Amino acid sequence: MLTVAIPKGSLLKDSIASFAAIGLDFSAFLEKGNRQLQIEDPTGQARAMLVRNGDVPVYVESGQAHVGIVGYDVLREKKPQVAQILDLGFGGCRLSVAVQESSPYRKSIDLPAHSRVASKFVQCARDHFRDLDLPVDIVPLYGSVELGPITGMSEAIVDLVATGRTLKENGLIEIEELFYSTARAIAHPLSYRLNTYGLSDSLNALRDHLRSQRKTT
Amino acid sequence: MLTVAIPKGSLLKDSIASFAAIGLDFSAFLEKGNRQLQIEDPTGQARAMLVRNGDVPVYVESGQAHVGIVGYDVLREKKPQVAQILDLGFGGCRLSVAVQESSPYRKSIDLPAHSRVASKFVQCARDHFRDLDLPVDIVPLYGSVELGPITGMSEAIVDLVATGRTLKENGLIEIEELFYSTARAIAHPLSYRLNTYGLSDSLNALRDHLRSQRKTT
């Protein structure tokens, strides 16, 4: 049976809408008090697993899910061996460098050499500063990265910014964008080539749906 | 000012009680709707930062916090350069190998070579199977690790078990314990040696408090 990996959290609702557009109903995940992590589409055509955004590529890479939806930021950070098929357009945010508003830094390259940069996106941050030829110490933090500059633990952070509200509340400003991220449909490469359980047909239908949507908006 | 790092989540309440026992009041973190991530003790003796359990050693290692409370599991997984001072006794859980109850495996060594083992504790899992001389593929997952064996993505998992309820609900059983974890007080080694802001005095007071508690119970 076609198996899809759906991300918990902020991409959940639009992910379910994407599958609904091609006739797959996983809305049971949205029901209040849902504790199920695996459900079947009522028509019995497909199965969905509800997993962390960051775990989606792991399921797709291993072939346990044929297709998944995940933020582009995760693909950039983890570089999984999956086929990137479609840009779904939702879940837009920027991976950006931010510093304290009161600091003198207004570009990444302004930071002193050997500054500390706190981030959940260790690889992306490392790549960014390596490209600038600026040696910095990346401090891996997994929650409340904005505490870094406030406590003096780091001169800068590299973090996802959607509305910018969290930065503002913490006296931080965005000084450089590494890349813009949106939700992507990814597939297991072999399953996609072989059209396993109609995987490529489903993704083509989703592509057509997106195109028709873009025409009308 | 003495700065402490307090873990969010399941260790929060007992961590605050530990500091209360030595006269430091950070109970504001427990107030409903609290959004503050940094507070001062009302007497002005110390400051606390509220961070993820996994981030506590990062703050202590960098000297941004002089002392912190963190689960032993994090210390085993990340091996940070901090001084482990006290076993606080609370937050007990086991890092264990679990498999599907219906599987034939009852010890780690029963797993077939090249089995897949899903875990958040990649290093601990790797060390465990290396010690057994059993080559396995560790699959890094960050949420709902128990989905691994259910979806067929992995033969086993290595995960924290407190009550065992999650395992049971998912048809899994614990077959081997890697180690038992409790909350630990950790300190920045240099600050501890120098008794910065009375750090070692505070930790000695906490040690005395724990001893007196153990005598009366």
**Could you list the residue range(s) of the whole structural domain that residue B136 is in?**
93-181
Which among A51, A52, A143 has CB closest to B52?
Answer: A143
Q: How much is the pLDDT for A214?
A: 81
Q: What does the pLDDT read at residue B217?
A: 62
Give contacts of B58 with chain A, Cβ < 8 Å: 139-141, 153
B142 — contact with chain A (CB < 8 Å)? yes
Contacts of A129 (CB under 8 A, 6+ apart): A108, A117, A135, A136, A138
In the A/B pair of chains, how many CB contacts fall below 8 A? Answer: 72
Contact check, Cβ <8 Å, B139/A37: no
Provide the chain B residues 56-115 that lie in CB contact (below 8 A) with chain A: 58-59, 62, 64
Quote the minimal CA–CA distance from B208 to chain A in Å.
30
Choose the mutation target among A142, A145, A146 for the interface with B, i.e. most B CBs under 10 Å.
A142
Six token digits for residue B169: 């609900």
- Are B157 and B146 in contact by the 8 Å Cβ rule? The answer is yes
Q: Which residues of A touch B143 (CB under 8 A)?
A: 8, 51-52, 54-55
On whether both B20 and B44 belong to a single domain, the answer is yes
Q: Do B169 and B189 sit in the same domain of this protein?
A: no
Q: Which residues of A touch B144 (CB under 8 A)?
A: 37, 50-52, 55
B39 contacts chain A (CB < 8 A)? no
Whole-angstrom distance, CA of residue A124 vs CA of residue A143:
17
Task: Say if the Cβ atoms of A51 and B143 lie within 8 Å.
Answer: yes
Q: Tell me what pLDDT residue A95 has.
A: 98
CA angle B116, A202, A204 (to 5 degrees): 120
Higher pLDDT, B36 or B56: B56
- Amino acid letter, B143: G
Is A153 in Cβ contact with B37 (below 8 Å)?
Answer: no
8-state DSSP, B121: -
Do B98 and B168 reside in the same domain of the chain?
Answer: yes
**Residue B133 sits in the same domain as residue B70:** no
Nearest to B152 among A55, A64, A144 (CB): A64
* Residue A28 and residue A103 in one domain: no
Environment class of B17 (CB within 10 Å of its CB; exposed 0-12, middle 13-18, buried 19+):
middle
User: What residues in B contact A77, CB-CB < 8 Å?
Assistant: none
Whether residues A78 and A106 fall in one domain: no
- pLDDT level of residue B87 (50, 70, 90 thresholds): very high
Residues B143 and B114 in one domain: yes
Spacing of C-alpha A164 from chain mean position: 17
B177 and B102 co-located in one domain: yes
Q: Are residues A13 and A115 in the same domain?
A: no
- Supply the pTM of this predicted model: 0.90
Closest CA to B21 of B212, B216, B215: B212
Element (H, E) at B35: none
pLDDT(B210) > 90: yes
pLDDT at A151: 87
pLDDT tens digits, residue range B9-35?
A: 999 999 999 999 999 999 999 998 888
On average, the pLDDT of chain B sits at 95
pLDDT at A217: 62
Same domain, A25 and A71: yes
In the sheet with B116-119, reading across from the earlier edge strand, the strands are: B137-140, B116-119, B156-161, B93-100, B172-181
Q: Which segments of chain A have a pLDDT < 70?
A: 217
Transcribe A93-162 into DSSP letters: EEEEEEEETTSS--SGGGSPTT-EEEES-HHHHHHHHHHTT---EEEE--S-TTHHHHHTS-SEEEEEES
What are A137-190's pLDDT values in tens digits? 999 999 889 999 988 889 999 999 999 998 998 899 999 999 999 999 999 999
Please give the tally of structural domains in chain A.
Answer: 2
Q: What share of chain B in percent tops pLDDT 70?
A: 100
CB-closest option in A52, A62, A150 to B143: A52
Q: Residues A121, A160: one domain?
A: yes
ipTM: 0.84
Q: Which of B49, B58, B143 is opposite residue A139, by nearest beta carbon?
A: B58
* A189 plus A172 within the same structural domain: no
Q: In what order do the strands lie in the sheet with A46-51?
A: A38-40, A46-51, A2-7, A67-71, A183-187, A83-87
- A190: domain CATH number is 3.40.190.10
Return the sign of the alpha-carbon dihedral for residues B63, B67, B71, B75.
positive
